[in-house]
Each structure stands twice: as structure tokens, then as C-alpha cells.
Structure 1
């Protein structure tokens, strides 16, 4: 009975169904994760399904002659599909282990070679009635021997890999067993053909093939499970790394610099040394971005961080505070080392940078302070080093050490304060608007208000050129009130002009959001301009939430009672956690552009963004992705279930006149 089963079409039918289901599962996995080796597995199993289906047909047919054209055609399809199964399986294993792209040329030539070999082995002696043994040797013996050698080679190759894990061990032993199966069959077809033993060997091989295919399917599933786990671990490690390091340069971020400096100061106190804190600012960095492109600027920033980290002075702290500003802290035992270290920094950074066969040279300004001579607080040390840096930049000096009574920064700030007050009086600050696209309706969801300074002599100034001064002068509240009032005016104007309620998202600083009178001010704006609450959306950063979560929650609840929506801006770049998201009654989460820039090419970023979207939706929050720059990012975000997007691919920030044309269109 068992013998009849293993020689009947039922075995091939069952195998075909099982393999077809496995192929379908792999195809679904590939669509979700896009792994190249999984696609090759799909091709391999698809070819094996064809092979088993054709074998089923051949067993069901009663063909009187071996030279029958129908039988020859079926044999060709049968052999070709199995050879393709072996080819794609071996290519898949190479791609899974090495993770290097296989050139299209290699794949094409290997496919051509398989087709030519199959054509020769099946076509030669195909119509010769007396060439039975020759046909057998070509179609079975030679083919099986070559396939066995291929599996044996792959088995030894997997054995010699440095990075080995459980699933690859399974494949290694499976391929070794399959090589033994095919080589044994090849030798038996030559030496034992016509004997009673050959039939037993064939039946044993049929049983082996069924078991091997089952093991192959399990091995693939185990491999994919391990791959998903590795992606998750990589995503977690990446998220933890980004929480402590600047994503672009790999140096410590500002928060970690503040955390590491006290440790370095304590170590100096124990050893009797001093800690020199250098602030470094790249000169004319905007010129580099404008001339060579943003990618060149990013490359140089990363190289600056690498050079500082690898300094022979063995720095205690290397971090990127913002933009092109770096901190470099070292222990010194002799005051003469201060100027030598500053000169060393200039030498490090002035060496040419090679970017795409272009040599780029830059210079830096350096200001530094000293622990414990100038202060024993990390914030104050950075502040005093920043005063020294400002004087270096103002007076065009390479390096300046902080000295007591430095007033240059104060004088400069007084002049800036006068200029900013005049700007408020003359309404020189204007709003640009960046449209936000709803991915479900494909319609305008709202706009984000971005402030610009229409300077009377310098033209339109970006926020980076004046927001720091506003913060240092404690003018955040004045700017927030100005922007909110102007946004309310525009919302009222658009209702009258276009009969459309367009939501304007405005970023609110921590100083304003934590003001007890802030809710009352928003309420007065709605009443004064006669606009509905859904015309305004307030954006707060994660750091605002962390500062005083209870106060923030109370403010959010009051705003929502008015009908004002509140969102978290630049999510993922601060210290927030899911616990805060669960507590906060916010409406929307805006994923920071740093996670979107590489989302179409980086598996870790895909996993992070996917998790953010899924968890946010689970908490009842909508999700908007910032910084969408191309169609691939948009398509992937739509697929991941993101609710809305904004970025240059949708539209750049528009002036009021440009937005009017946009709305008319």
C-alpha cells in the first residue's frame, strides 16, 4: 500500500498544494518587507510547484512511446522548472548570507545557461527510439550529478561562513543531504540500472524528496522569523543610539553633552587636572551648502565629528550642539596646552575634505572656557565658551579664551534687540505656509505656518538666522503672540475669500504653552477674528511635554474643550516615551523628518516609522510625516497607513500670494 502511494500521483498532488501555500506565504512576506532573497525563494518554490504539477500530469498520462512529442515537451518543462528551482534556491542563499546585490547580468547569464543545458539534455536523442540509455544518462545521471555538486558546494560555503546561526545550519545540513541524494541517484542510474536495487533506490528518493521539501519550508520560515527579530533588534538599537547621538554625525547630542560634562569634570577633580571646553563653529558653512549642495554639507559635518573624535588629544566629550556647532572637551595639566589644543583643532578641521572628487576647505572659529577656573557648572562653562566664540567670530579671530567681563555678546544682543523690536513694530515678520496632504482623501488637510523675517536691508531671513537671538533675549512670547495673531487673521481672510476653513498649524514654544493665561489668549483670538476653533492647530515639541507634564496636560485639555487641536512636533527626537503619549490627550503626532529621509532605503527606519504609526493609531492619535521629499517615501508612508504628510514633494513653504494661487488651483 505504501509503495503504491509513493508511486501514485497523490504524492505529487499533496506536495504541489503544500508548496503552493508556502509560496503564497513567502510572497505575502516579501510584499511586507521587500527582502530580495525572499523574492528568489518565491521564484524557486514557484518553479518547484510547476515541476511537481508536471510530474503529476506525466504520471496520469498513458503515452506509448518515449519519443512522443507531448511527452518530450512535458519532460522539458519538468526538467527546466526543477533546474530553475535549484538555481534560484542557491542564488537566494547567497543573497541572504552575503546581503550583496546580485548583478542582473549574472542572473541573466545563469538563466541562459540553465535553459541551454536543459534544452541539450532533453533534446539530444529525444526522437531516437534506440537511444534509451543515452537519454537516461543525459536527463538523469549527468543532471543529477551537476545538481548534487551545486548543493555540495553551497553546503561547504555555508560551513565556512564566519557569521553562522541556526537557520543557516539547517540549510547547510539540508544541502549536504540533498547533494548526497543527487550524487547517489546519479551513480545508481549508471551502475545499478536494470537491477532490482534501482527501483528501491528510486522509491527511497521519492520519500526523501518529500521530507526534504518539508524541511526546506520549515528552514525558510525559521530564517524569516530570525530576520524579523534582527530587524526589530536593529530598530531598538538604532532608536537608543539616536536618543544619545546626533543622527547625522554620530557625535553626542546636546542633552548627552550636558550629561557627560559633569562626569568629565568629576574625573578632572579627582586627578587634579583641568577640563577645557571648546566650542567650534564652522565658518561660511551656509556657503558650502549653497555651493556644493546639502549632501556635501552633511558629509563635511560627519567628517568634522570623525576628526574630532579621533584626535590624538583623546577628548573626554565630542558632541554636536546644533547646525555646524560642535563641542570638544579635553583634560589638561598645563595652561600652555590651551592654545596648543586650539591650534590642533584648527589643523584638524582645515585639512581638505574630498567630496565626489571635489576638494573642499573650511575654517573654524573656536571659543573656550576652563573648569574650574571659569565655572564649575556645565551650562555656565558652555555659555562662557559661547561668549568667547562669539567674540572670535565678531572680531574674525581664530580662537578666543573666555575672560571675565566679556561684554561683546551683551552689546551685540542690545543691537539685535533694538532691531527685533523695530521688526515687531513695522510688522516685518511674515508667514509662509507649507501644505499638508491627507493621504486618505488626497486633499489639502491644512498648512503649517513658518515665520520669516522680511528684513528691510537683508531680504527674507530664515528662522535659523534670528530665532536663537529671540530665545536669548526672552522674546519667545512676543513672537508666539505675533505669529498666532497673524495666523488667525489669515484664517479669517481665507474663510471670507474662499469660503474654506483651512487649519493653520502653529508651533508654540514652551514659555508660551506653560503660561497660565495662554488658553485665555487663544480664546480671545478666536473671538476677535470670528474664526472656528478648528482653524487653529497648536504644535508643541517633546521637550515641552517632559518639562512639566501635569501643566501641559491641563493646558491641552482646556484647549481641546475650546475645540483647538494639539499635536506633538518632531516626534522621536527628544526624550518622550509611549507612557507620555498614553497620558496626553493630543490629536496628532508629527514624525520627525530624520526618520523619513531614509525610510525608503533603510529597513530600520521602516520598522521605526511603522511602529510609530501602529502604536499611535492604537492610542487613537493621527500621524503626519514631515520631510517627504520623493514619490518612494510618499508611497511607502501611504502603504504603512500614515494619515497625512508634508514636505517639498507635496509643496515647499509658500508665501501668502503663492498659497492663494495654490488654493485657486
Structure 2
């Protein structure tokens, strides 16, 4: 009964109840002796994806693997507990020097990062760790835990995979994050989002050949909030599927409205997150949406990025094949920014390759960028893919791309992303180059 009450059955580590009881006692001892302590809280980056995609069996084996590493590094009087799921906390007693903590942490994280082999598969694991020191970062367990949690969130906001000591300024950032989450929830309920549209232009004729829908959030008090400030947070807290669904429905309804007005062009393009793409019956959901809006499947293009496919390539390929089977076009966005984009390009059954704006901006004055863009266009053509260049801002860039066989351009030279009524003015003009 004692072990059931105070120990985790999977990892055999002390549980949260033991941790709270033990640390409360350790803090009293530290107060009497004047010694320092440290709490090292960490969780496994993207552990949910392991459970959801690979299954709970592998998830449990990964947790046991992490615990084996912990047991190698953590010796009495220090101890470690599993708080819940993939959340662990290490308690270090008798802290003398912060540099010693850093050395131990970096050695520990280096061991975690070594490839883990399981049933013939190789996995690369990273964790996000926060560190709070008694007494400067808190004199009771509640304060220490709150502050160590804030430092973990700071690591995650930097892209995960690392550690951070608590700093007083983190509390303000944490409060801002909580405020943003609340604002995001209200924005979904009150429909504060809108879609702007950016035309995709056929470089040979200057005519509109497609339209990308881009989400905009105009907060009633804070004004315009850029997507890069709320989309990653929406993905993290689980709101992204609702947002993606709204984007698809709104863009399809707008495309249908433009069709009825006689503004005919190729496809309406929407960006889809990884969580939406791998959602159960995503293809069925998409078909229902298109049918309700009265659009042909061939009028929709789904844009995905490398982050949407990195965790489970085989499943994503099956989903893309289903989408292509019903006529939906697939574009690989931001090509060239990922470390293994060429691998995906070879395996993914996509229709369109979008060259990232970073390569386009310097093609006139940079020989290396020029060579890369020419090579990508040639490679895409050999794979029978359409090429769209993003971030086209000058006529020189457009001319270069057109002469090297890039079919479509998108960028400020033609139009920034604008509301639907502004797009209709472009339709009326017929050509915009």
C-alpha cells in the first residue's frame, strides 16, 4: 500500500505525493542549516506525438529509457520523482556553486540526446528543463515549483531542447503567455479572426492563377497580432484545429462567392498545421466542407510545411495520396528552409513546390542564391512539379524567375495580402504586371 501511494508503477520512481512530502522536509532542513537546494524540472519535447503516432507502448519504453539515464546521474541524497506523464523533477541538495549545476545538467542532457534504439528504430530525444534555486528563487515548495515551471515555458518559447535558470523577468512573460491564451480562446469564441488573400501570378501572362488565404487577428484592444505570435501558441495549447477548420471553411466560401461573381481563377490555397493534417478522418472532414460550400475538390490547394510531416512521414504520405486521389492539390511551403527537404521532395506525392522568400530576396546580387534558385526550379521541373516563388518584390526578380522557367510568383510586387474587396479590384483589372 505504501508503494502504491508513493511510487510510480511504471518507472518505480517516487510520485508527486512523495515528492511534495520529501521536499517540504528538505526545505525545512535547508532553512535550519543555511544550505542551498535546486529543483530541476523537465519534460520530454513532443512526447504527445510519440504516444499519438507511435503508440503508448513505445511511449512507456521511452519513459523507462529516460529513467535509466536519471538513475545513472542522480545519487542520494539527491533524488528524482515522476510528477505525471513525461514530467520529472530532480532535487539537488547542498548546492555550493551554480557552475556545478550547469556541468551536471549539460552532462545529463548530452546523455539524453544520444540516439535511442528500440526494436530496430532510432529515436532522437530532447527535453526542456527549468531550474529554480532555494532560497533566492523561492522559500517554499509552491514558489519554487511555480518559478521552475516558468523557466520551462521560457525554454519552450525559444524552441525547446535546452535548460534555463529561473529569472524574475520570466514571471512577467508567463503572465503575458497566460493572457495570450485567454485572448486566443475568446478570439475563437467571438470570431475575431479574418482572412486576407494574396494573389499568385502567372509570370508569363501577369494574370491571377491562384490565391493564398492568410489569417489575420485584429484584437479589439491590442490591434493587429501577427500570426507568428499566436499560431505556435495555438498549436501548443490545442486550439489550432478549430482555427484551421475555420480557415478552410471561410476560404472555401469566399472562393465560391468569387466564382458566382465571375472572378474565376485556379485554386484557393490554405495552410494546414500538422495537428490538423493527421487528425482522424481529415480527408472526410475536408470533403464535407467542400461539398457544403459547393466547391470542386480541384479548386482547393493545401499547403504544408516540413514541420507538418517530420514526425510521421508514412502516415502523411497516405493522407496526401488520399487528398490527391479526390483532386485536392498539395503544395510544399517554405522549401529550402528545412534540413531534409530534399528527402521529403523525393518521397512526398506533392503537386507544387514553393521556394522560400529568403532565396528570392538576393537572387539578383548573390551568385550563390541565384544558383540555388535555378537548381531548385530545374529539379522541380524534372519531378513534374509546378514552382511558385514567394517574396517577389522587384521586377528584376520576376524577370529572372520567368526566364528560368518559374511559372508563378507571389509577393509585394504584385500585391500584399489584402481583404477580399481589394482582391476584387485586382480581378477587375485583368492583369497586374
Q: TM-score, with normalisation over the residues of structure 1?
A: 0.41
In the alignment, does 2:150 pair up with 1:387?
Answer: yes
2:283 aligned to which of 512, 519, 523: 519
2:230 aligned to which of 461, 466, 476: 466
Q: CA deviation at 1:451?
A: 0.6
Higher normalized strand content (fraction of residues): 2
In the alignment, does 2:257 pair up with 1:496?
Answer: no
Q: Could you say if the C-alpha distance between residues 651 and 557 of structure 1 is closer, same or farther in structure 2, counting changes exceeding 3 Å?
A: same
Q: Could you say if the C-alpha distance between residues 499 and 641 of structure 1 is closer, same or farther in structure 2, counting changes exceeding 3 Å?
A: closer
CA distance in 2 between counterparts of 1:506 and 1:484 reads 7
Cross-structure match for 2:404 = 640
Report 1 or 2 for greater relative contact order, CA contacts < 8 Å, sequence distance ≥ 6: 2
Q: CA deviation at 1:584?
A: 1.9
Q: CA deviation at 1:413?
A: 4.2
Q: CA deviation at 1:500?
A: 1.9
The answer to whether the 8 Å contact 2:320/2:350 transfers is yes
For 1:409-466, what per-residue CA distance to the aligned partner results, in whole angstroms no more than 9, with x for missing partners? 6655443333212211221100111111112332101111111102111222221232
C-alpha RMSD of matched pairs (Å): 3.4
Cross-structure match for 2:105 = 372
- Secondary structure at the counterpart of residue 310 of structure 2: helix
Cross-structure match for 1:14 = none
Cross-structure match for 1:663 = 427
For 1:474-497, what per-residue CA distance to the aligned partner results, in whole angstroms no more than 9, with x for missing partners? 212111111111111111111112
For 1:22-59, what per-residue CA distance to the aligned partner results, in whole angstroms no more than 9, with x for missing partners? xxxxxxxxxxxxxxxxxxxxxxxxxxxxxxxxxxxxxx
The answer to whether the 8 Å contact 1:556/1:586 transfers is yes
In the alignment, does 2:354 pair up with 1:583?
Answer: no
CA distance in 1 between counterparts of 2:103 and 2:412 reads 44
2:313 aligned to which of 540, 545, 549: 549
Q: CA deviation at 1:572?
A: 0.7
For 1:232-277, what per-residue CA distance to the aligned partner results, in whole angstroms no more than 9, with x for missing partners? xxxxxxxxxxxxxxxxxxxxxxxxxxxxxxxxxx9xx99xxxxxxx
Q: CA deviation at 1:660?
A: 2.1
In the alignment, does 2:343 pair up with 1:595?
Answer: no
Q: Structure 2 matches for 1:584-623, cutoff 5 A?
A: 584-623=348-387
In the alignment, does 2:390 pair up with 1:626?
Answer: yes
Q: CA deviation at 1:608?
A: 0.9
For 1:111-146, what per-residue CA distance to the aligned partner results, in whole angstroms no more than 9, with x for missing partners? xxxxxxxxxxxxxxxxxxxxxxxxxxxxxxxxxxxx
Q: Could you say if the C-alpha distance between residues 403 and 543 of structure 1 is closer, same or farther in structure 2, counting changes exceeding 3 Å?
A: same
CA distance in 2 between counterparts of 1:492 and 1:432 reads 16
CA distance in 2 between counterparts of 1:649 and 1:542 reads 27
2:187 aligned to which of 405, 417, 423: 423
Q: Structure 2 matches for 1:122-133, cutoff 5 A?
A: none
Q: Could you say if the C-alpha distance between residues 447 and 370 of structure 1 is closer, same or farther in structure 2, counting changes exceeding 3 Å?
A: farther
The answer to whether the 8 Å contact 1:369/1:381 transfers is no
- Secondary structure at the counterpart of residue 538 of structure 1: strand
Q: CA deviation at 1:387?
A: 3.4
Cross-structure match for 1:262 = none
CA distance in 2 between counterparts of 1:493 and 1:370 reads 62
Q: CA deviation at 1:547?
A: 2.3
The answer to whether the 8 Å contact 1:543/1:576 transfers is no
The answer to whether the 8 Å contact 2:193/2:215 transfers is yes
Q: CA deviation at 1:334?
A: 7.5
What are the ranges of 5 or more consecutive residues in structure 2 without an aligned counterpart?
1-68, 74-94, 113-125, 132-146, 156-163
Cross-structure match for 2:331 = 567
The answer to whether the 8 Å contact 1:625/1:644 transfers is yes
2:242 aligned to which of 478, 493, 497: 478
CA distance in 1 between counterparts of 2:403 and 2:263 reads 33
- Secondary structure at the counterpart of residue 129 of structure 2: helix
Cross-structure match for 2:166 = 402
CA distance in 2 between counterparts of 1:575 and 1:522 reads 30
Cross-structure match for 1:530 = 294
The answer to whether the 8 Å contact 1:437/1:650 transfers is yes
The answer to whether the 8 Å contact 1:571/1:589 transfers is yes
CA distance in 2 between counterparts of 1:411 and 1:374 reads 32
Q: Could you say if the C-alpha distance between residues 409 and 598 of structure 1 is closer, same or farther in structure 2, counting changes exceeding 3 Å?
A: closer
- Secondary structure at the counterpart of residue 406 of structure 2: coil
Higher normalized helix content (fraction of residues): 1
Q: CA deviation at 1:375?
A: 7.5
Q: TM-score, with normalisation over the residues of structure 2?
A: 0.62
Q: CA deviation at 1:579?
A: 4.3
Q: Could you say if the C-alpha distance between residues 663 and 371 of structure 1 is closer, same or farther in structure 2, counting changes exceeding 3 Å?
A: farther
CA distance in 1 between counterparts of 2:154 and 2:301 reads 40
